[in-house]
């Protein structure tokens, strides 16, 4: 059994070496390669020259990423446990949870500097980007319980506490590690974006910011690849335990009723009240934050002032027109990037069943593309796609596809072996297993992935507009930040969050209609 695996790994290694050789030739012997796509040997030579800077900046990014990851996942796991036991609390905090994930990092990073000192802006931004994916995956695992096991626990007199201790916690571990695999690269991305916008001296974000005007593509690629290496290390750290746990905890036989990952609905009046609380709670926390921080309301306005900025006063009409024009440019591209990213994630996840060797060969490229700071790939994006719509769509896909792939892959690997064996016994191949077993079984994971990446698509397009195209909501916020127009910054952040929440809830509505 080991010989085919060795041959498969050898083919992957050979393919990687061929790709590196092609990269070396293009980077060394083409004019555009020398200018934008430096050869690996040139990147390594530049990294050796900059080795002391790499050590200082790398340690700073590693420290803030680890602290942000630890804080984010700790709060996420605790929240998932509470939400699993108390679904009403989850509904009440639904607005807060989605808001935390939907906040545009390119705007929130500089604003955190107003409230926090030292490395805390980067740490908090990393923790904010980590929290929601880790919490969603953990909660999905806690709630996905085989109904036969739940009935067995109930038959022996066990209550919800026993079910949690003996079944839910053990069964949720594969999904928990899947969430950690998504969260680890996001912690690095959050730390780098925080460093990029906070004005700190050390960290790969600050290193990248200082390297941009120098026109040294080897240094830019080296910084991006170094940041990717940290993110890849975090991803790999949770990959092996996730595989072992998935192999040992997946169901052997198929239950007559598929496990449900959604809590049962309560009384309509109670749900309405909790929904109103969910809508109001983010605004209450916002008001408390700016009030207790004692920051000038000119810099940090409360929700009331921000809303009034858009509906009252001499500048309200101009502000609404500017936001409307920007949204008209951003939203169609974000929707296109979301669909394209989900499609790419689905194809990559499907390849893990249809052509595992090809999927494993593509995985290193996908990981590097996902984890490289978006700023570092801008020169290549501009070279290949120009400064138009294609660049924004590509950047959105770059942000969207990997978290969606991890969740979809987790769903595909959780299919009971008995179901796959049944298809194989009737002569069905991998394609039939994918179409008739894996996809229907993983519908909840597909919608969880869509909900997770819907806000990310908007973030990806805004980053592209900020760095590449110079249009849309991202550019409006960047211009407003340069002009110290804090009212417009907070208004744009509020509108982008509301749109992300609407996209998240829209996906949930489609899921509920299909689940009926």
Q: What is the pLDDT of residues 444-487, one digit of tens each?
A: 778 878 877 887 788 778 878 877 777 888 888 878 877 778 88
Quote the pLDDT of residue 347.
86
For the segment 133-159, the average pLDDT, to the nearest whole number, is 79
Comparing 333 with 463, the larger pLDDT belongs to 333
Would you say residue 30 has pLDDT above 90?
Answer: no
Q: Give percent helix, percent strand, percent coil of the chain, each to the nearest 5.
A: 85, 0, 15
Comparing 318 with 372, the larger pLDDT belongs to 318
- Let me know how long the chain is: 516
C-alpha angle with apex 153: 150 to 155, nearest 5 degrees? 105
Per-residue pLDDT band for 79 (boundaries 50, 70, 90) equals very high
Per-residue pLDDT band for 194 (boundaries 50, 70, 90) equals confident
Q: Which of 36-40, 51-55, 195-199, 239-243 has the highest mean pLDDT?
A: 51-55
Tokens of 511: 């899921």
Comparing 83 with 352, the larger pLDDT belongs to 83
The three-state secondary structure class of 86 is: coil
Q: What is the pLDDT of residues 174-184, one digit of tens each?
A: 888 878 887 88
Quote the pLDDT of residue 77.
92
Would you say residue 11 has pLDDT above 60?
Answer: yes
Quote the pLDDT of residue 474.
81
Q: Which of 14-18, 95-99, 368-372, 420-424 has the highest mean pLDDT?
A: 95-99
Mark residue 255 as left, alpha or beta (left: phi above 0; alpha: psi -120 to 50; beta: remaining): beta
For the segment 215-228, the average pLDDT, to the nearest whole number, is 82
The full DSSP string for 195-233 is: HHHH--SSSHHHHHHHHGGGT-HHHHHHHHHHHHHHHHH
Write the DSSP symbol of residue 265: P
Comparing 238 with 362, the larger pLDDT belongs to 238
Per-residue pLDDT band for 70 (boundaries 50, 70, 90) equals very high
Would you say residue 143 has pLDDT above 90?
Answer: no
Write the DSSP symbol of residue 515: H
Quote the pLDDT of residue 400.
82
Looking at the chain, the whole-number percentage of residues with pLDDT higher than 90 is 5
Quote the pLDDT of residue 73.
92
Q: What is the pLDDT of residues 489-504, one digit of tens each?
A: 888 888 888 888 788 7
Tell me if 465 sits within 8 A of 328, measured CB to CB. no
What does the alpha-carbon distance between residue 134 and residue 139 come to, in Å, rounded to a whole number?
A: 8
Q: Which of 240-244, 253-257, 335-339, 353-357 has the highest mean pLDDT?
A: 335-339
The three-state secondary structure class of 499 is: helix
Average pLDDT of the chain is 79
CA 476 to chain centre: 23
Would you say residue 85 has pLDDT above 90?
Answer: no
Quote the pLDDT of residue 72.
92
The torsion of the CA quartet 92, 106, 221, 68, rounded to 10 degrees, works out to -40
Comparing 110 with 261, the larger pLDDT belongs to 110
What does the alpha-carbon distance between residue 61 and residue 339 come to, in Å, rounded to a whole number?
A: 32
Per-residue pLDDT band for 69 (boundaries 50, 70, 90) equals very high
Work out the angle between the directed axes of helices 120-143 and 389-413 (0-180°, nearest 10).
Answer: 40
**CB within 8 A of 233, min separation 6: which ones?**
none
Quote the pLDDT of residue 74.
94
Quote the pLDDT of residue 267.
60
Looking at the chain, the whole-number percentage of residues with pLDDT higher than 70 is 86
What does the alpha-carbon distance between residue 244 and residue 328 come to, in Å, rounded to a whole number?
A: 47
**CB within 8 A of 72, min separation 6: which ones?**
126, 127, 128, 129, 130, 131, 134, 183, 187
Quote the pLDDT of residue 1.
46
Q: What is the pLDDT of residues 373-418, one digit of tens each?
A: 666 666 667 767 777 788 888 888 887 887 788 778 777 777 777 7
Would you say residue 52 has pLDDT above 50?
Answer: yes
Would you say residue 78 has pLDDT above 90?
Answer: yes
For the segment 345-365, the average pLDDT, to the nearest whole number, is 75
Q: Which of 3-17, 326-340, 484-498 has the highest mean pLDDT?
A: 326-340
Quote the pLDDT of residue 75.
94
pTM of the model as a whole: 0.74
Comparing 193 with 3, the larger pLDDT belongs to 193
Tell me the C-alpha to C-alpha distance, in Å, between residue 459 and each of 390, 392, 480. Answer: 16, 11, 17
For the segment 343-370, the average pLDDT, to the nearest whole number, is 74
């Amino acid at each position: 059994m080991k010989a085919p695996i060795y041959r498969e790994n050898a083919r992957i290694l050979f393919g990687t070496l061929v790709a590196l050789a092609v990269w070396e030739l293009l980077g060394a012997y083409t004019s555009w390669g020398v200018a934008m796509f430096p050869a690996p040997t040139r990147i390594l030579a530049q990294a050796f020259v900059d080795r002391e800077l790499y050590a200082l900046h790398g340690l700073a990014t590693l420290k803030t990423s680890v602290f942000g990851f630890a804080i984010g996942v700790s709060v996420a796991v605790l929240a998932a446990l509470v939400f699993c036991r108390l679904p009403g609390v989850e509904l009440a905090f639904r607005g807060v949870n989605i808001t935390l994930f939907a906040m545009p990092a390119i705007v929130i990073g500089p604003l955190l500097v107003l409230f926090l000192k030292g490395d805390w802006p980067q740490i908090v931004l990393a923790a904010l980007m980590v929290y929601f994916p880790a919490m969603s995956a953990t909660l999905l695992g806690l709630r996905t319980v085989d109904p036969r096991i739940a009935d067995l626990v109930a038959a022996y007199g066990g209550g919800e506490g026993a079910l949690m201790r003996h079944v839910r916690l053990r069964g949720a571990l594969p999904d928990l590690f899947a969430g950690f695999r998504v969260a680890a690269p996001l912690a690095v991305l959050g730390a780098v974006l925080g460093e990029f916008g906070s004005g700190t001296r050390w960290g790969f974000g600050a290193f990248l910011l200082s390297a941009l005007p120098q026109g040294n593509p080897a240094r830019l690629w080296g910084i991006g690849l170094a940041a990717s290496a940290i993110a890849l290390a975090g991803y790999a750290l949770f990959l092996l335990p996730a595989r072992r746990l998935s192999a040992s905890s997946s169901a052997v036989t198929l239950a007559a009723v598929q496990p449900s990952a959604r809590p049962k609905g309560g009384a309509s009046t109670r749900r309405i009240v909790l929904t109103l609380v969910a809508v109001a709670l983010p605004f209450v926390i916002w008001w408390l934050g700016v009030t207790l921080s004692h920051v000038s309301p000119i810099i940090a306005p409360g929700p009331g002032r921000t809303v009034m900025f858009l509906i009252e006063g001499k500048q309200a009409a101009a502000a609404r027109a500017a936001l409307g024009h920007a949204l008209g440019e951003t939203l169609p591209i974000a929707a296109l990037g979301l669909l394209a990213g989900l499609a790419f994630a689905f194809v990559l996840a499907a390849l893990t069943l249809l052509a595992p060797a090809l999927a494993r060969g593509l995985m290193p490229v996908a990981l590097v593309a996902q984890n490289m700071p978006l700023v570092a790939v801008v020169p290549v994006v501009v070279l290949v796609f120009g400064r138009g719509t294609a660049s924004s769509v590509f950047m959105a896909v770059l942000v969207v596809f990997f978290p969606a792939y991890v969740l979809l892959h987790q769903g595909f690997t959780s299919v009971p072996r008995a179901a796959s064996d049944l298809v194989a016994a009737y002569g069905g191949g991998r394609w039939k297993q994918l179409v008739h077993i894996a996809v229907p079984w993983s519908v909840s994971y597909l919608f969880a992935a869509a909900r997770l990446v819907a806000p990310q698509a908007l973030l990806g397009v805004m980053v592209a507009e900020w760095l590449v195209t110079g249009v849309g909501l991202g550019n409006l916020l960047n211009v407003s930040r340069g002009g110290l127009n804090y009212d417009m910054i907070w208004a744009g952040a509020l509108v982008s969050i509301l749109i992300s929440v609407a996209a998240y809830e829209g996906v949930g509505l489609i899921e509920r209609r299909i689940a009926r």
